[in-house]
Structure 1
C-alpha cells in the first residue's frame, strides 16, 4: 500500500474516532502511533512515543501555559475578575444595552488575564446574566453577548491558542501575543457596536440599567486598577522587551497572587482550588500537544502536506484566494471540531502552503485564531453556547444560537478587515523592542 493511501486511511480513521466522541488527544495518539508503525515499523513508533513527550515537556516556552492559566484562575477564585465587570457596569450600564456592553468589556479584560475563552464566558456569565435578566434584557442579547464575549479569550493575549500555534509552527510567542492586541481590541469594539445597533433598532432588547453617581463610578474604576495594572505590566513588558513571554507569565502570576494576599481575598483554600484547576487545564493542553507530536510525523511520512501544498501553490490564482480557501476550511471545520484540535490537525497541512505563498506567518496565526473563535459560537458544536446554556438552563439552545448570529457577523467583518489590512495585526510585533 502506498504512503499516500495509508495517510488517507489514517485521516479518515481519525475523523471516525472523533465522530464517536473519542477525545481528540487519544484519537491522534492512536492514528499517529499505528500510522507510523504501519509505515516504519513498531519499534520506530515506540521510539517516537517514548521521546516526543519528554522533548515537548522539556520546552521552557511551555511554562507560559500553566502560569497564565494560574493567573486567570486566581483572579477568578478571588473575585478580582468581577471588578472589571463592575467598572464597565458603573460607567456604561445606564445606557441601552449597557449591561451587555459591560459584559463584552469585562470579557475582554478577563481574557487578558486568563487566555481562555471558556473561562471568560463562564466567569462573566456568572456575574452578568443574572443582572441582565433582572433588568429585562432579551435572552438573545444577554446570552449572545456572553457567548461571543467569551471568544475574546483566545485572541487577546495571553492566548493559549497562540501558544499552541507557536509550538506547532516554531514562531515567536511574544510576537503572536502582540499581534493579537489590536485585533482583539478591534473585535471588542465591533461587538460593542453590534450591541449599540441592535438596541437602536430594537430598544426593547436592552433596557437602560441603573444610574450610578460619579463617586460610585470612581470607586468601581479604582477597584479595577490593580487588575488593569497587571495587564499593562505583562503585555507592556513583552512589547518593550523587558520580559520574555515566559518571564511575563511569571511576573503576572506573581502580581496577581500578591494582590490577592494584600487584599486578603486569597486564602489557602482559594489558592488550592485555583492551582488544582490550573493543573487540570494544563494537563489537557499538554496532552493535545504531545498527541500532535505523534500525528505530525505520521503526516510528514505520508507526504500529504507536501502534495496538498504543491496543489494549492500551483493554482493559477492570487495568494489571497488560496488564503480565503484555507480560512473557509477553518470556518467549516469549526462547526464540527474543537479549536485546538483544528490547529493540531491542520497546521502541518496548511502552514507549509502559507510559507510557499510568502504570506506572513504571524498575520496568518491571527487570522486562524479568529476563525477558531468563530467556531466557538457556530452550531452544532459551539462550545461557548453550551457553556452559557449550563448557566441559564431555562433558555433554549435555539435562542442562544440566534443571539450569537449578529456577533458572528461582526467577527466575519473583523476577519475581512484583518485580511484587507494586515498592519492591524502586524504593527505592534513589527515595532516591538527586541
Structure 2
C-alpha cells in the first residue's frame, strides 16, 4: 500500500507542477496585458475596455492552478511547537491530524464555491461590460481548485501511513483511531449540532474568544495556520449567523479573494524578484554598495545592509533576502577576517528589510485584511525603511568601535571599478524607481506597477541571456509555492477576521485594556510587547494572520491611523525573524555556514535587535515618521 501511495504522489506531483506552470504563465500574461493597457492609455488615451473583467478570471484561474501543486509540496505554515514534547511518533500523528483538518477546510472551500457558481448560473449573472457568464467562469475555476482535494487526500493518506507505520503498540493504534474520530467530528453533522447548541447560548464576543482559543489550540498542535483560522472562523460565523448564512458568507469571502484583482500584485511582484535574481541583480547591488563604502572600517558589513535593502526592494521577502545576500556576503566577510558573529548578525538583520521595504508581501496581506490602500502603505513604509537602514548602520559603527579587532579596514576600490559596478547596477535602480516612483506619482496603480516591474525584470533577464528552461522552471516553482502558501492563509484569515468583526470582540478588548489603563499609547506598548514575545516562537505570517483581526479594530477604536499601525505591526513581526531562540533568519545563517554556532549568531544580532527596539520606540512616539510621506501625495 505504501509503495502505491508513493507512486501516486510522484505522479500527482509531476502533473500538478505542469498545471501550476500554466497558471503562472497565465498570471504573467496578466502582466503583459496590463502593461499593454498602460501603453495604450499613456500614448493613445485608449485603454482596453473591461480589462478587469479579463484579468480577474485569469488571476483566479492562475491561483487555482497553483493550489494543487502547493498541496503536493506540503506548502503550509505550521508551528512545530509540540515536536520536542510529544516525540517523533506523537508528532507524526499530529501532522496527520493537521493534514486531515486541512483536507476538510479545502473541501468546504470547494463546496461553497460550487454552490456559489450554481447560484450565479441560475440567476444568469454576467459581468458588467463584457457580459461574461460569471457562473460558468466560477465553475471552471472551482473545478481546478477541486483537484487540490485529491492531492490533499493523498497527502493525508501518506502522513497517516507514516504515523501508523511508526506505531508499535496498541496504544498508538488507538491514537490513530482517535484521530479518525476527531476528523469524523468535523464531517458528521450531529456532533457539530450538539456543540453548536452549547455555543449558541454564549454572547457573540465570548463565542469569538472561544473560537480564538480553539484556533490557537489547533495551531499549537501543528494544524496548518490557514486551516486553523478558517475552521475556527467558520464555526463562529455559523453559530452567530446560523448555518446557512455562515456557510454562504464563507463562500462569498473566498470567492472575493480568489477573484480580487488587487491580489495580482503578489504573484507579479514575486515574479519581478525571481526574474531579477535570475538576471544576477542581487550580486550587482552588493558589489556596488561594497565599492562605495567597503573601504571603511566595517564597510563590508554596512554594504551588506545596503545590499539587503536594495535586494529587498526587488523580492519583498525576508527569507529570500537573507538567503541570497548571505551566500554572497558571508564568504566575502570571512575572506576579510570579519568576526563571524558580526557577519552572520548583519546578514540576518539585513534580511528583515526585505519585508519592510516596498514592494512587500506582508504589506499586501495587511492591506487586504485591513481593507487599506496597498499604494499608501508602500509609500508610508519608505521613511521607516530608511530609518531602519540608518539605525542598522549606526549599530555596526558602534559595534566596530567597541570591538575594532574583529572588523578589519577594507581597501578602497579604484574609481574606474566603482563606475563599472555602478554601470552594472543601473538596471536595479531603474526597476525600483519605476515601480515605487510610479505608485507615488500616481502614474501606475499598484497592479500596473507590479506588472511593469515583472515584465521589466523579465526583459532584463532576457537581455542578459539568463532565460532558459531551467531558470523559467525555477521562477515558476518559487512563484507557485508562495501563491499556494499565501492564498490558503488568506482564505482562512479573511473568514476568521469576519467572524471577529461581527462578534464584538474589539469592544470587549477595548473595555479590558482601558480597565488597565486609559492611556492609548500604553495600550499600544502592551500590544507591541505581545508581538515581541510571539516573534520569538512563531512565523511572521502566522503572527499577523492570527492577531490582526483582534488588534487592528482595537487600535482604530483608540483613534490611531490604520496605516501607521500597519507599518508598526510589520516592524514588530519582522523583529521576530532575528529574535532568539527561533528567528528564521538565524537558522538560515546556520544553513549557509554550517560551522557557525547559534550562540555566535545570537550574539551577532543583538546590536540589531536593540536598533529595532529603538526604531519601534521612535515610530510609536512620532507617528509622523510613517504618515508624512503619504500626506505629500
Range with bigger deviation, 54-63 or 295-304: 295-304
1:117-159, Cα deviation, whole Å (9 max, x unpaired): 1111111011111111111111110110011000001111001
Q: In the aligned structure 2, how far is the partner of 1:237 from the partner of 1:214?
A: 32
Could you say what secondary structure the match of 2:228 adopts?
Answer: helix
User: Is contact 1:237-1:243 (8 Å) kept?
Assistant: yes
Match status 1:366 vs 2:553: no
Q: In the aligned structure 2, how far is the partner of 1:361 from the partner of 1:381?
A: 29
Range with bigger deviation, 68-77 or 315-324: 315-324
Q: In the aligned structure 1, how far is the partner of 2:410 from the partner of 2:219?
A: 44
Partner of 2:597: 396
Q: In the aligned structure 1, how far is the partner of 2:618 from the partner of 2:494?
A: 34
Q: In the aligned structure 1, how far is the partner of 2:591 from the partner of 2:527?
A: 33
Under a length normalisation based on structure 2, what TM-score does the superposition of the two structures give?
0.66
Structure with bigger RCO (C-alpha 8 Å, 6+ apart): 1
Deviation at 1:269, TM superposition (A): 2.5
User: Is contact 1:117-1:153 (8 Å) kept?
Assistant: yes
Deviation at 1:31, TM superposition (A): 2.1
Match of 2:408 among 192, 207, 228: 207
Partner of 1:141: 342
Partner of 2:607: 406
Under a length normalisation based on structure 1, what TM-score does the superposition of the two structures give?
0.95
Partner of 1:261: 462
Match of 1:236 among 421, 437, 457: 437
Deviation at 1:418, TM superposition (A): 1.7
Range with bigger deviation, 265-274 or 217-226: 265-274
Partner of 1:97: 298
Match of 2:276 among 64, 75, 78: 75
Deviation at 1:37, TM superposition (A): 4.1
Deviation at 1:4, TM superposition (A): 4.2
Partner of 1:283: 484
List runs of 5+ in structure 1 lacking aligned partners.
none
User: Is contact 1:78-1:270 (8 Å) kept?
Assistant: no
Range with bigger deviation, 76-85 or 1-10: 1-10
Q: In the aligned structure 1, how far is the partner of 2:427 from the partner of 2:366?
A: 30
Could you say what secondary structure the match of 2:357 adopts?
Answer: coil
Match of 2:393 among 177, 192, 199: 192
Deviation at 1:80, TM superposition (A): 1.3
Could you say what secondary structure the match of 2:277 adopts?
Answer: helix
Q: In the aligned structure 2, how far is the partner of 1:349 from the partner of 1:19?
A: 19
1:373-405, Cα deviation, whole Å (9 max, x unpaired): 111111232111112211111112222122111
Q: In the aligned structure 1, how far is the partner of 2:470 from the partner of 2:424?
A: 23
Q: In the aligned structure 2, how far is the partner of 1:18 from the partner of 1:26?
A: 9
User: Is contact 1:108-1:152 (8 Å) kept?
Assistant: yes
Range with bigger deviation, 316-325 or 146-155: 316-325
Range with bigger deviation, 201-210 or 295-304: 295-304
Partner of 1:164: 365
1:5-20 aligned at under 5 Å gives the runs 5-20=206-221
User: Is contact 2:288-2:422 (8 Å) kept?
Assistant: yes
List runs of 5+ in structure 2 lacking aligned partners.
1-200
1:198-235, Cα deviation, whole Å (9 max, x unpaired): 11211122222344211111111111111111101111
Could you say what secondary structure the match of 1:359 adopts?
Answer: coil
1:239-285, Cα deviation, whole Å (9 max, x unpaired): 11111111111111111111111122233431221122112112211
Could you say which structure has the larger radius of gyration?
2
Match of 1:173 among 356, 369, 374: 374
1:47-90, Cα deviation, whole Å (9 max, x unpaired): 34433221111111111100111111111122111100010112
Deviation at 1:422, TM superposition (A): 1.8
Range with bigger deviation, 32-41 or 263-272: 32-41
Q: How many residues align?
A: 432
Match of 1:30 among 218, 231, 235: 231
